[in-house]
C-alpha cells in the first residue's frame, strides 16, 4: 500500500493557496513583509506536518500485538498451518 497521489496533490495545492494567496492579499502597511513571511511559514509548516502524518501511515513503526492464541485462530481460519520450529 502506497501513498495516493490525489490527497498529496490536493493538500499541496491547498497549503500553496494559503501561503501564496494569503501573501498576495495582505494589506499594505509597515508590517506587510512580516505578515507575508508568517503566512508562508505557517503554510509550509502545516503542509510538512500533514505530509509527515500522512506518510507515517504508509509504513507504521508499531503494529498490532497479537497473542499466540489469536495468531493460531487466524492461521486456522485462513487454512495456513503454523510451522513450529
pTM of the model: 0.67
Q: What percent of the chain has pLDDT over 90?
A: 59
Distance of alpha carbon 46 from alpha carbon 23, whole angstroms: 16
- CA 20 to chain centroid, in Å, comes to 21
pLDDT in tens, 53-84: 998 888 777 878 889 899 889 898 998 878 77
Question: What is the DSSP secondary-structure string of 3-43?
Answer: --HHHHHHHHHHHHIIIIIHHHTPPPSTTHHHHHHHHHHHH
Amino acid at each position: 500500500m502506497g501513498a495516493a497521489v490525489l490527497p498529496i496533490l490536493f493538500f499541496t495545492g491547498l497549503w500553496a493557496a494559503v501561503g501564496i494567496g494569503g501573501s498576495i492579499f495582505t494589506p499594505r502597511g509597515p508590517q506587510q513583509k512580516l505578515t507575508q513571511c508568517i503566512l508562508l511559514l505557517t503554510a509550509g509548516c502545516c503542509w510538512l506536518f500533514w505530509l509527515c502524518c500522512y506518510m507515517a501511515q504508509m509504513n507504521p513503526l508499531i503494529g498490532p500485538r497479537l497473542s499466540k492464541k489469536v495468531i493460531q485462530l487466524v492461521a486456522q481460519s485462513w487454512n495456513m498451518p503454523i510451522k513450529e520450529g
